[in-house]
Amino acid sequence: MNTLQVDLGDRSYPIYIEAGLLNQADWVRKHIRAQQVLVLTNETVAPLYLATLMSHLEGYSAETVVLPDGEQYKTLDYLNRIFDQLLSKKFSRNATLIALGGGVIGDMGGFAAACYQRGIVFIQIPTTLLAQVDSSVGGKTGVNHPLGKNMIGAFYQPQSVIIDTDVLDTLPDRELSAGLAEVIKYGLIRDPDFFMWLEDNIDKLLARDKPALSFAIERSCRNKAEVVAADELEADVRATLNLGHTFGHAIETGSGYGYYLHGEAVAIGTCQAADLSVRLGWLKESERDRIIALFQKANLPVLPPESMDSDRFIELMAVDKKNLDGKVRLILLKKIGEATLPVSVEKELLEMTLKTYGRE
């Protein structure tokens, strides 16, 4: 089994990666501190894996919350359903919350754990590729607002992350591709050898080749863990993990949460960021074309929605956590394997990408 460590002093925690982990009770039970356990999941994951997890919790006072599946339910209203259960069942501050699901469940579960009685134990069991390689690691939690994605939340680290690669067997092809967008991101921002490996092995990942998937998950988690350990609260290098996300979040918000999967919107946004990087004279055109080609091979969209014009993009991009003094700041690329810290870009150049990339 691969075990990685996110080094954050007294908030450090392990990431376990192995096929079949969900069937091994010890990896769950060892991180539970008291009798009360709440399992948060959704209507898609519950029929597949909830019974297995609950069988490991015999002897505990275990309760469940099952939410609808989808980004459109990542709201304060649905967050309250978690608090309702915690309060009605009189959960104490020694309780444990286990998030069994994808990025939405992990983000909401982490935020609920951060808020309930000012913090309870939180365990991540991610069931999508995107959650396994990105959102389950690093402690970013929160919910969406109609005016902006992930604008209400907190940094709150889990007690552990338990990644069972076998759960990807039931993942729809579209969700698998969406996860690959975040995998590709690590190659672009800091790991050019991994990017080249992905160019050579993307077909194996799409075919769910177990050794290839395990390697990609471990390499992605290692990259994420190193970045988080260096900059937990996103004051510096951690911001590079947001490559493509300012564009992508605008697409998700502007299209209606749930129309695009997060990874699909990030794929489009990363291609837009690459195009803008070329216009700034940093990234070579040939590198931009390699980036677009890899996303296309991963069966991901690379063109922005026709329904969003440049004015709408800029309006939505103005609601972003990286912005400063009213200026849109973006993560861009110097080359494949090297991202910038947040930079302000002249509005005219940004508009050139927004008006021409994918619209010519």
Number of C-beta neighbours around residue 3 at 10 A: 10
**126-149 confidence digits (pLDDT tens):** 999 999 999 999 999 999 999 999
**179-238 confidence digits (pLDDT tens):** 999 999 999 999 999 999 999 999 999 999 999 999 999 999 999 999 999 999 999 999
Residues 147 and 184 in one domain: no
DSSP codes joined into one string, 140-186: EEEEEETTEEEEEEEE---SEEEEEGGGGGGS-HHHHHHHHHHHHHH
Q: Is 242 a catalytic residue?
A: yes
The answer to whether residues 27 and 250 touch, using CB atoms and an 8 Å cutoff, is: no
Structural domain of 314: 173-356
Q: Which strands, in side-by-side order, build the sheet including 160-164?
A: 2-6, 13-18, 160-164, 121-126, 96-101, 36-42, 61-67
- Residue 2 above 80 pLDDT? yes
Average pLDDT in the chain = 96
**Alpha helices, DSSP H only, in the chain?**
25-29, 51-55, 76-88, 103-115, 129-130, 173-190, 192-206, 210-230, 245-255, 262-279, 285-297, 310-317, 347-356
**Active-site residue identified among 238, 279, 288, 321:** 238
Q: How many CA atoms within 13 Å lie on the side-chain side of 58?
A: 5
Residues 79 and 154 in one domain: yes
Structure tokens at 166: 């076998």
Q: Is 145 a catalytic residue?
A: no
**Active-site residue identified among 71, 232, 242, 321:** 242
**Active-site residue identified among 74, 190, 222, 262:** 262
CATH of the domain at 95: 3.40.50.1970
What is the pTM (predicted TM-score) of this model? Answer: 0.96
Residues 177 and 166 in one domain: no
**Active-site residue identified among 234, 252, 264, 287:** 234
Among 170, 195, 211, give the residue marking a domain's end: 170
Among 118, 136, 170, give the residue marking a domain's end: 170
Nearest to 262 by CA among 107, 114, 122, 64: 107
- Residue 327 above 90 pLDDT? no
Residues 21 and 126 in one domain: yes
Among 120, 148, 170, give the residue marking a domain's end: 170
**Active-site residue identified among 182, 252, 264, 287:** 182
Residues 194 and 307 in one domain: yes
Predicted local distance difference test score (pLDDT) of residue 207 = 98
Radius of gyration for the chain, computed over Cα atoms and rounded to the nearest angstrom: 20
Predicted local distance difference test score (pLDDT) of residue 1 = 82
- Residue 360 above 70 pLDDT? no
Distance CA 239, CA 249 (A): 15
**Active-site residue identified among 74, 222, 224, 288:** 224
Residues 159 and 199 in one domain: no
Confidence grade of residue 319 (pLDDT, cut at 50, 70, 90): confident
**24-35 confidence digits (pLDDT tens):** 999 999 999 999
**95-129 confidence digits (pLDDT tens):** 999 999 999 999 999 999 999 999 999 999 999 99
Segment 296-308 mean pLDDT: 97
**Active-site residue identified among 31, 74, 185, 245:** 245
Q: Is 334 a catalytic residue?
A: no
Residues of the chain above pLDDT 70, percent: 99
Distance CA 264, CA 15 (A): 25
- Residue 326 above 90 pLDDT? no
Residues 208 and 225 in one domain: yes
Residues 134 and 186 in one domain: no
Predicted local distance difference test score (pLDDT) of residue 112 = 98
